């Protein structure tokens, strides 16, 4: 299964369900308003029925069914996407701090960072194409979270704790990564690039420390 595609499918499925539910709510609301307007015009007064137990039970049942379905499909996607992670070719410690990111490539002297404010010199997390990369995510001050929307992964960065994920980016490219946890005034500028480059380019980066 291609990297993270289980979560793309899940995202599509959940979005469709959300739109269908939204549509049903709008239809029900408009219908109820229209009907009461109609009754008012005809001088029929409000409906006498104080309870509609069958309807409410049906509604609760449908709701429970929906929740069970969503939970099961999320767990299934998780199981599909997290078999035992492959042995990483590279391990990077990703450290979030107010308000930027730092990347240390384990077993090398290379640590890279940048300026998060102003989008001019964003930090770049370099990874080799097609090789498993383990990210050990942590923080120095408050809670942050690494979020790469395009690849559908998000991981909390806790001070004094390490969260790990093994990612394999299948093609060359550059994707925006954001902090997904409100962490202070410049939270909104806490972005970086995830960039996948050919393994040879990546090795050169490790040797020179320069992208």
Contact 129, 172 (CB under 8 A): yes
Kindly state whether residue 157 participates in binding Cu ion, applying the rule CB under 5 A.
no
Of residues 14 and 141, the one with the C-beta less far from Cu ion: 141
- In whole angstroms, what is the distance from residue 177 CA to residue 56 CA? 44
Residue 192 Cβ, how far from Cu ion at the closest point, in Å?
Answer: 11
Contact 112, 124 (CB under 8 A): yes
Plot region of 42 (φ>0 → left; ψ -120 to 50 → alpha; else → beta): alpha
Q: Which stretch binds Cu ion (CB under 5 A): 8-16, 24-32, 176-184, 200-208?
A: 176-184
Kindly state whether residue 134 participates in binding Cu ion, applying the rule CB under 5 A.
no
Q: How many of the other CB atoms lie within 10 Å of CB of 74? A: 15
Kindly state whether residue 152 participates in binding Cu ion, applying the rule CB under 5 A.
no
- In whole angstroms, what is the distance from residue 9 CA to residue 77 CA? 9
Secondary structure element (H or E) that encloses residue 126, with its range: strand 124-128
Kindly state whether residue 190 participates in binding Cu ion, applying the rule CB under 5 A.
yes
Of residues 98 and 201, the one with the C-beta less far from Cu ion: 98
Which of 4, 144, 152, 195 binds Cu ion (CB under 5 A)? It is 144
Kindly state whether residue 179 participates in binding Cu ion, applying the rule CB under 5 A.
yes
Kindly state whether residue 183 participates in binding Cu ion, applying the rule CB under 5 A.
yes
Binding site for Cu ion (CB under 5 A): 144, 179, 183, 187, 190
């Amino acid at each position: 299964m291609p990297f993270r595609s289980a979560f793309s499918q899940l995202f599509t499925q959940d979005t469709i369900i959300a739109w269908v539910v939204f549509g049903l709510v709008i239809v029900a609301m408009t219908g109820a308003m229209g009907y009461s307007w109609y009754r008012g015009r005809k001088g029929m007064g409000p409906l006498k029925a104080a309870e509609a137990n069958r309807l409410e039970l049906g509604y609760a049942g449908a709701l429970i069914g929906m929740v069970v379905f969503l939970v099961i499909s999320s767990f299934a996607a998780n199981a599909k996407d997290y078999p035992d992670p492959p042995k990483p070719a590279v391990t990077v410690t990703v450290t979030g701090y107010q308000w930027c990111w730092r990347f240390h490539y384990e077993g090398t002297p290379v640590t890279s960072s940048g300026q998060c404010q102003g989008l001019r010199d964003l930090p770049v997390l370099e990874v080799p194409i097609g090789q498993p990369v383990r990210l050990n995510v942590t923080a120095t001050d408050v809670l942050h979270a690494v979020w790469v929307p395009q690849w559908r992964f998000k991981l909390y960065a806790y001070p004094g704790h390490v969260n790990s994920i093994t990612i394999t980016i299948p093609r060359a490219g550059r994707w925006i990564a954001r902090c997904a946890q409100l962490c202070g005034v410049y939270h909104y500028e806490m972005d970086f690039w995830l960039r996948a480059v050919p393994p040879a380019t990546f090795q050169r980066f490790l040797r020179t420390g320069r992208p």
